[in-house]
Chains A and B, each alone.
Chain A
Amino acid sequence: MIRITHQREKCIGCNLCVEVARNRWRMSRKDGKSTLVGGEDNKGFYTVLVGDDEWKENKYAADNCPVKIIKLEKV
C-alpha cells in the first residue's frame, strides 16, 4: 500500500497533479486548489491509502509539484 499526504492549504492550483494522476486528484472549483480524491483531513494534511499500482503517476506528481506539498510513503 501507499500513503499519499497532501498539505492542501499551500497548493497554488497549478494543475500538475491533476494532469499526471488524474484519477487521484481533482481541481476544486470552489477555491482553485487541488483535492486528493478519497483524502481524509487531519489538521490540514489530507491522507489516503491506495494500492501500489498508483505509485508511478503519484510519485511523478509528488516529485514535480512546484510547492512540494505531496508526500508518498510505502506502508
Chain B
Amino acid sequence: MTKNTKVELMAPAGSYESLAAAIKAGADSVYFGIEQLNMRARSTNNFTIDDLSKIHEICISNNVKTYLTLNTILYDHDISLMKKIIVAVKESKIDAVIASDYAVFNQAKNEGVKIHISTQANVSNIDSVEFFAQFSDVVVLARELTLKQVESIVKEIKRRKIKGVSGGLMRVEIFAHGALCMAVSGKCYLSLHSNYASANRGACVQNCRKSYVVTDKEDGVEFEIDNEYIMSAKDLCTIDFLDKVIQTGVNVLKIEGRGRSADYVYTTIQCYREAVDSIADGTYSQEKVIGWKERLSTVFNRGFWDGYYLGKSMGEWNDEYGSKATKKKIYIAKGLKYYEDAKVGEFKMESHSITLGDEVMVIGPTTGVIQTFVDELRINNNQTDSVKKGDVFTLPLLQKLRPSDKLYKLVDAQ
C-alpha cells in the first residue's frame, strides 16, 4: 500500500490490539488516551503513563506518528497529573498532545510539546483558528461544520498565512468516520444529569443511544416516539464523497473509535487507506465505494450518514439499539504456536466449532488482525473437516501467530 503524503490518515488506538491493527491497515498516525484525563476514561482498556515509551517504539519503527488525547475538562486536582503526563510525553517523544483546556496549552508550551486543538474546543471559524495558532500546529475542526465552511477555513489560513508554533501553516484536521454526538461534540450534560457520569470527563453513559417513550401525565398513556432512537445519531461515513472532503484541502482525516475493537479499526482504516490512495492515483470510483461501504457495514455501526458536511439534513437518527454490523465475531480458540516453515498456526478450541470454509479472524496485541478463510484443518497432523471444543488443531496462516492471540469465527449478525 502507498501512503499518501498529502492527507494524513489518523486511527484510534484504544488497546495494543487496535494499535497493531491500525498500523497493519496503513494508518499514518494513531491517537490514544492514558490514565483518566481523556474522553474515553470509562473504557476499561486505557493505556497508562508507563505505556508511552512502548507505544512510541512500536509506532516509530513503523513510521507512524503518535498523538496523546488529554482533552477532558480539568479541575485543580488534575493539574499535577496533567503536568506529569506532559513531561512523560516529552520524554517518550510522543509527537503531540490533543487538548482543549488552556492549562494544557500553557504547560505544553512551557515544555516544548506540540499541541493539536481537540474537537472538544469546537473550533468553527477562522478567527478561532488564528487564536489557537499561538499554542498549536493542528486544529481539529468542530464536527458540525459543512464542507464549504471547512474549505473556507483552509483557504483563509493560506490567505492570512496563519502559522502554528512550529512555524508552518496551521494544519486542519476533520473527522472522516465514526460515531457522532447528538450534542455539539461532547458538550452534553445528559449523562451527568442521569448518572452523575460526566461526558466531559470521559464517562458518558450514552443516554442518547437508548429509546424513550413520552408519557401523557393525565392518563399515563405511553407513546413511543416514531419508533426511532430519536437522540441517537447515525455514524458519520464520508467514504462515498471522500474526494470532495480531500478537495477542501484538509490535512488530516481522523477516524473515531478508541472504544472500538481491533477488527473495527482494521477494516475501517483499511477502507479509508484504499480510498485516500485511490483518490491520489485517480482510480477512486463508485464501484469501489460500494465495496468499501459493504466492508464498513461488516463492523460496528449504527447505520451511516454524511454528518453535517453536505449541509442537507439536520440529523439522521438510528432506528435500532446498538450496532447494525452485518457480521459478528465469536471467540473460539486461543493461539498456541506458529510453525514458521509450514506456515500453520496451532490453536486450542475453547468454545463452539469451526468447519472448512468458515471465515475466521486472529486478533492479538502484536499481531493486530489477520482475517482468513479456513481452507485446511488438521488434528495431530491428520486432515479433518471440522474441529470442536477441546481439540488442539492447526490451520494455515501466512502471518505469524503468537500465544497471546485469540481466534474468532465470523458469522452473520442476523
B-binding residues in A (CB < 8 A): 11-16, 27-33, 64-67
A-binding residues in B (CB < 8 A): 36-37, 41-42, 75-82, 195-198, 201-203, 205
A13 touches B203 (CB 8 A): no
B81 touches A31 (CB 8 A): yes
A32 touches B36 (CB 8 A): yes
With contact pairs A32-B78, A32-B80 given, residues A11 and B42 touching in the complex (Cβ less than 8 Å): no
CA distance A14 to B36 in the complex (A): 9
Write the nearest CB–CB distance from B52 to chain A, whole angstroms: 16
CA distance A66 to B195 in the complex (A): 7
B77 touches A66 (CB 8 A): no
Write the nearest CB–CB distance from B37 to chain A, whole angstroms: 7
Residues in B neighbouring A14, C-beta threshold 8 A: 196-198, 201, 203
A12 touches B196 (CB 8 A): no
A27 touches B195 (CB 8 A): no
A13 touches B42 (CB 8 A): no
Write the nearest CB–CB distance from A12 to chain B, whole angstroms: 4
Residues in B neighbouring A30, C-beta threshold 8 A: 80-81
Residues in B neighbouring A11, C-beta threshold 8 A: 36
- Residues of B contacting A: mostly: loop
| 19 A-B contacts (beta carbon < 8 Å) | A12-B201, A13-B36, A13-B78, A13-B81, A13-B201, A14-B196, A14-B201, A14-B203, A15-B77, A29-B76, A31-B81, A32-B37, A32-B75, A32-B81, A64-B196, A66-B42, A66-B195, A66-B196, A66-B198
Residues in B neighbouring A15, C-beta threshold 8 A: 75, 77
Residues in A neighbouring B79, C-beta threshold 8 A: 29
Residues in B neighbouring A67, C-beta threshold 8 A: 42, 197, 203
Leading 7 A-B pairs by shortest Cβ distance: A66-B197, A27-B77, A12-B36, A32-B81, A66-B203, A64-B196, A32-B78
Name which residue of chain A comes closest to B75, CB basis.
Answer: A15
CA distance A15 to B414 in the complex (A): 43
Residue of B75, B77, B197, B205 contacting most chain A CB atoms (<10 Å): B77
CA distance A28 to B412 in the complex (A): 48
CA distance A67 to B36 in the complex (A): 11
B75 touches A13 (CB 8 A): yes
Name which residue of chain A comes closest to B76, CB basis.
Answer: A29
CA distance A17 to B232 in the complex (A): 30
CA distance A18 to B81 in the complex (A): 18
Write the nearest CB–CB distance from B146 to chain A, whole angstroms: 35
Write the nearest CB–CB distance from B165 to chain A, whole angstroms: 27
Additional A-B contact list (18), CB under 8 Å, known A32-B37, A32-B78, A32-B80: A11-B36, A12-B203, A13-B36, A13-B75, A15-B75, A16-B196, A27-B77, A28-B77, A29-B76, A32-B36, A32-B75, A32-B77, A32-B82, A64-B195, A64-B196, A66-B42, A66-B195, A66-B201
